[in-house]
Amino acid sequence: MSRKETIIIKDTPWKVEMQYLGESSGVFSKPCYWYCLLHDNEPVFDGSDYQGSPMNGEDVVEHAMEMLGYLSLGKDSAEDDFFEEYTKAQLAWRDKYAEELALVVNDWEQRADSPMPMTAYMNSDSHYVVEYTD
């Protein structure tokens, strides 16, 4: 993945844009990504510091959902220093929406055993769509 990819979480206000930047250096290299989490098409978080798990290979949806796991941490889910660089707007977003996003991420991680399974596919606009299935 070298082009910007869009991952839409259907029936939610969230989508993620990601672009592969290359591999980190060192003995245990990891794929590095630029990312942007949008809420109602407004950027909430963006950066080029996300290093995905090598176990996800080139699966952009897996990398996006893994990254959302970090962005959905609530104030009681991590030490205060984790949120040091958050802006006031990002802290307000966290306090209002992180728990809801964490539930979606959890459903994705547990999709094989979930009563509400999820799937991902590419739509006609070449965007990935993550959605619950019946």
pLDDT digits (tens, 9 = 90+) for 34-91: 999 999 999 999 999 888 887 777 788 888 999 999 999 998 888 889 999 999 999 9
In angstroms, the CA 32 to CA 53 distance is 9
Q: Where are the domains of the chain?
A: 5-132
φ and ψ at residue 86, rounded to 5 degrees: -70, 145
Mean pLDDT computed over 99-118: 83
Could you tell me the two tokens for 110? Answer: 């547990």
pLDDT of res. 110: 84
**pLDDT of the residue at 1:** 52
In percent, the amount of the chain with pLDDT more than 90 equals 47
Predicted local distance difference test score (pLDDT) of residue 44: 97
Averaged over 100-110, what is the pLDDT? Answer: 90
Quick one: average pLDDT of 96-124? 85
**Residue 22's pLDDT band (cuts 50, 70, 90):** confident
5: number of Cβ within 10 Å: 21
Give the span between the Cα atoms of 15 and 38, in whole angstroms.
5
In sequence order, the β-bridge partners of residue 20 are 33
Residue 134 pLDDT level (bands cut at 50, 70, 90): low
Percent of the chain with pLDDT over 70: 94
DSSP string, the chain: --S-EEEEETTSSEEEEEEEEEEPPSSS--EEEEEEEEETTEEEEEEEEEE--GGGTT-HHHHHHHHHHHHT--TTTS-GGGGTT--HHHHHHHHHHHHHHHHHHHHHHTTTT-SS-EEEEE-TTS-EEEEE--
